[in-house]
Amino acid sequence: MLIAVDFDGTIVEHKYPQIGKEIPFAITTLKKLQAERHQLILWTVREGELLDEAVEFCRKRGLEFYAVNANHPDENNAEPRAYACRKPRAHLFIDDRNLGGLPDWGAIYEMVHNRWSYERYHSELYKEYEKPTLWQRLFGK
């Protein structure tokens, strides 16, 4: 999958324009997704030096992105930049501004790895706690 990932509030705590502390397991999870052959795009409002700082922050932790604020790595060097797309094409967007907020990175990994929706993840997580139906109690099924 092609996955677009926000930076502030998603990979690091939201302290824009400074870089906040890394959100636990964010970089580790993203590197694991890359190892499973997913391509990651850094998708952020940061530009110029602030963007360079974010990319370097991730690079120092061993995380390299397929593209940055672009659909393809070659777009990063395209001139004029005004013609490049600011919203990449992706199969999935991971962002702290999602409806309902950002799940923890363990949940994000499980959903991506298993190709589950949030609802499916939630039902799998709480499956053992569900009460059996009357039919299940009567007939053991």
Return the C-alpha torsion angle 3, 107, 113, 26, nearest 10: 50
pLDDT value of position 123? 84
Rounded average pLDDT over 30-49: 96
Q: Give the chain's domain count.
A: 1
pTM exceeding the 0.75 threshold for the entire prediction: yes
In which domain, by residue range, is 116 found?
Answer: 2-139
Question: CA–CA separation, 37 vs 119, rounded Å?
Answer: 25
Per-residue pLDDT tens over the stretch 41-95 = 999 999 999 999 999 999 999 999 999 998 877 665 545 455 556 677 899 999 9
Domain of 87: which CATH number? 3.40.50.1000
pLDDT value of position 83? 52
Per-residue pLDDT tens over the stretch 104-129 = 999 999 999 999 988 888 888 777 66
| C-beta neighbour count of 37 within 10 angstroms | 7
